[in-house]
Structure 1
Amino acid sequence: MENQVNRKKMVYHTIAKRGIVSKTDLLGQFELSTSTMNRLLEELSGDGYIEEVGFGPSSGGRKPILYQAAASRGYIVGLEISRFYSALGLFDLHFNAKTLVRWRMDEDMTPETFVAHAARQLDAMLHDHHLSRDRVIGIGIGAVGPLDREKGRILKPLHFSAPGWTEVPICELIERETGIPAMLDNGANTALMGEHWAMRDDRPDLQHALYVHAGVSLRSAMMSHGQIVHGKVDMEGSIGQMIIQAGGERLGSHGNYGALESYVSVRALEKLAQSEAKIRRDELLPLRQTSPDSIAYDRLLSELSQNNGQVLELFLRTARHFGIGLANLINVFHPELIILGGPLVTAHERFYQTAIEIALSHTYYYPEYEPVFSKGVLREDAVVTGAAHMVWKSMSV
């Protein structure tokens, strides 16, 4: 019975991934008899998970029936919990976003307020699409770590504006408020899941990939043989504690001295700009009223958009450190693809290109081995889409 369930799920996932497929195509992929495949397709069709979409070309006999996954068999919700902005998306089973909303995480967005707000947004979405809550299969959550995935808890994240985001049983709170089962993983992992799915047509054989987000902190995820790699503890922020300069700086009151995050993060860039402004203030920020200690990232972005060369050099200095960190990861794992995201990566094209150039120049086996770099397909929607995809992969058929 267990083998039957697994086979059925594998056939369904294959149909969903490939879009439109015939029974002959499926028989070529699975070592199953024609009668067994017929039975699985009949069950999936009878349960509404797949549907017939016409006939394929004949190879001499009858034209083969073509199948695809049924988009409206159910719906999945993706929820992103981040420090600055969070998002909620309602997806059909083709991963079309029916509605996607985003909101700011200000000082009033405590866990209780957040959960109530997310539930109201979900009810509005369902109302707009004339759906009841029982049509929703589950809610996938991609959140800032560290986490306890098995217990569905957010542990001790840093830099939330609102209080209360410590030891939060987020899955329990969401389930209690909505009546819908929820599951949790860190946002870097769900972002990589989402991007992997979105790239399935262009890169169908992609097996080994990295995702690195550079923003308020550094976050990363790793995929090997098409599966997310999970460690004993949540690894999302580990890349930030990679030491790139022995005896170097420390960012704040925690973490390693000389860690990558001390040189590559929004807070590190602000600290660098504040230090530089005290030395050459008029060159860096041509606003005499601005106190160096009050220089914030938004102001740096504004100056960058106005082609301030001194500010650009600060971003590029940060990018060079980022490239060193990427090279260390690449030399350990040798992935096929590295997806880069986050506010620093998207701030300026030269940041992105400089980081890549430095990473490749320190990559062992280069140029014989040369990974592909990308900003992804989904970009800011990757976390919420991947969170929904996590639920889809786990659902029973």
Structure 2
Amino acid sequence: MASQRGALVGGTSRGLVLDLIRAQGPISRVSLAEATGLTQATMSTVVRQLLSDGLVVETGHGESTGGKRPVMLDVNPSSRFAVGVQIGRESITYVVADLVGAIVGRTRTPGMDGDEPGGMIERLAQEIRNTLDGLGVDKASVVGVGIAAPGPLDLARGAILHSPHLSAWADAPIRSMLSTAVGLPVVLDNDATAAAIGDFWGGKLDGAVAHASVYMGSGIGAGVLIDGIVFRGASSNAAELGQIVVTDANGAETVLEEVAGPSAIARSAREGGEAERLGLSGNDDFDDFRLIAKASVRGDRGAGALIDRSAAHLASGVLTMANLFDLDSVSLAGPAFAVAGPAYVRAISARLESDFFGRAQHQVAVRLSADVSDAAAVGGAALVLQSELAPRTMGLSAPATV
């Protein structure tokens, strides 16, 4: 197994060529050789292997530059697939992506709140099988499964350590357990990191140099990419945005999640006597948060004030992170942004425009992720495609296999 912190420097020649065809195809062999620095002989060998494996197809001829018209190459999207699984207390999302990262199917089921690992693993494996069967995808063409989970994680062992939102999974080796159950290679990564990689893989970052994906489900986290490389820290648990120490309304020190997260907003609504008016059940904080977000979008002033409070606290946290990493790009991802996401975009954009330290040199683009609710699942599938087929210098961990 590769080191959890080690970068896959360029990968193999095969991976490098496939990645370039995926990103720039249709493209000729001559252009590939020029872009990669590989010799024509090496390029011919690599392309022959990719054609033989069905990963690449010849799509016709390009324009002549004086000699024979070049044969153009492109990725065969339906030759390989990957499954992404976004797990959380509030919901579980499954997506299936083809070789170019296009989503061909998705399923959402109830979350993992209180579920024990043994039975839950079989449920995950069965849902993956059902999803593939429903799409008519042959398991032999699936390169693996990418799990996106809330941290902290031990990527070396493929385990969730002690997530406050998935307490039953403390120290459970989810990667190897699921790989055995489903019979496929499995990659595990942080949900926020997965969301960031998904944005990168899909080409949605507009050339950003320093990007952060802020992920909010039941908790709050962030994934940071510097020049397309994941910033992981000493134990691959960097950018835990929700754990930044802040001061609450009473002047007491707490963490950002406790004032900006969905549970904090749901509690504030109930403590403020808003439960009955907003139809809150009190049984599930995240469901209550969704109701508050919907009421806010409909123009309810009390609900709007609660969302604005959350957004203001989160904006302060993002400002701190932007100053630390000199960010030029931020995307918001996760199910908590599905309804009231634009309010958070406005609050964070305004705070960065007024207070970001480097604002005289550059702006920080703030947007919702293209797959806001399912961003981590999409990123999980991208993790598999990236690490199995076309590794760049991204610091990805190797998949566990059965």
TM-score bracket for the superposition, by shorter chain length: 0.7 to 0.9
- Separation in 2 of the partners of 1:41 and 1:92? 20
Aligned to 1:340: 332
Given that residues 148 and 191 in structure 2 are in contact (C-alpha distance below 8 angstroms), is that contact kept between their aligned partners in structure 1? Answer: yes
Q: Partner of 2:3 in structure 1?
A: none
- Counterpart residue type for residue 358 of structure 2: Y
Residue 377 (structure 1) shift: 1.5
* Partner SS state of residue 380, structure 1: coil
Q: CA deviation at 1:360?
A: 2.5
Aligned to 1:267: 263
| In the alignment, structure 1 residue 356 sits paired with structure 2 residue 362 | no
2:309 maps to amino acid: R
Give the secondary-structure state (helix, strand or coil) at the position aligned to 1:244.
Answer: strand
Matched-pair contact (CA < 8 Å) for 2:335–2:373: no
- Equivalent residues of 2:82, 2:381 under 8 A apart: yes
Q: 1:225 aligns with which of 208, 224, 227?
A: 227
1:332-367 CA-partner distances (Å, limit 9, x unpaired)? 111221011235544433332022212321101314
Could you tell me which residue of structure 2 aligns to residue 175 of structure 1?
Answer: 179
Residues 188, 236 of structure 1: 8 Å contact kept: no
Q: 1:67 to 1:100 in 2, by over 3 A?
A: same
For residues 78 and 183 of structure 2, the distance between their equivalents in structure 1, rounded to whole angstroms, comes to 20
Q: 1:380 aligns with which of 345, 357, 373?
A: 373
Contact conserved, 1:145 with 1:236, CA < 8 A, in 2?
no
Aligned residue type for 1:208: A
User: 2:316 and 2:366 mapped to 1: Cα distance?
Assistant: 15
Q: Aligned partners of 1:380 and 1:247: how far apart in 2?
A: 30
Secondary structure of the equivalent of 2:169? coil
Residue 77 of structure 2 corresponds to which residue in structure 1?
A: 71
Q: CA deviation at 1:41?
A: 1.6
Matched, 1:7 2:7: no
User: Which residue, out of 144, 165, 175, partners 1:159?
Assistant: 165
Does structure 2 conserve the Cα–Cα contact (< 8 Å) formed by 1:199 and 1:377? Answer: no
Greater mean alpha carbon deviation, residues 92-101 or residues 76-85: 92-101
TM-score, normalisation: structure 1 = 0.86
Equivalent runs, 1:1-397 vs 2, <5 Å: 6-105=12-111, 107=113, 109-160=115-166, 164-199=168-203, 203=206, 205-235=207-237, 238-245=240-247, 257-275=253-271, 277=272, 281=273, 287=277, 296-348=288-340, 349-395=342-388
Q: Is the 8 A contact 1:75 1:137 kept in 2?
A: yes
Q: Deviations over 1:107-130 (max 9, x none)?
A: 574322322222222222333444
Unaligned runs of 5+ in 1: 251-256
Q: Structure 1 residue 13: deviation in Å?
A: 1.0
Decide whether aligned partners of structure 1 residues 290 and 52 sit closer, same or farther in structure 2, where only a CA change above 3 A counts.
closer
Q: Cα gap change, 1:247/1:90 in structure 2, threshold over 3 Å: closer, same or farther?
A: closer
Q: CA deviation at 1:175?
A: 1.5
Q: Aligned pair count? A: 380
Q: What TM-score do you get using the length of structure 2 for normalisation? A: 0.85
Q: Take 2:90 and 2:315, find their aligned partners in 1: how far apart are those partners?
A: 25
SS of residue paired to 1:174: helix
> Is the deviation greater in 92-101 or in 345-354?
345-354
Supply the RMSD in Å over aligned alpha carbons.
3.0
- State the alpha-carbon separation in 2 of the partners of residues 384 and 320 from structure 1: 27
Tell me which amino acid in the other structure corresponds to 2:259. Y
Larger radius of gyration: 1
**Cα distance change of structure 1 residues 344 and 294 upon mapping to structure 2, 3 Å threshold:** closer
Verify the 8 A CA contact 2:153 2:236 in the aligned structure 1: yes
> What is the percentage of aligned positions where both structures have the same residue?
22
Q: Structure 1 residues 383 and 31 mapped into 2: Cα distance closer, same or farther (>3 Å)?
A: same
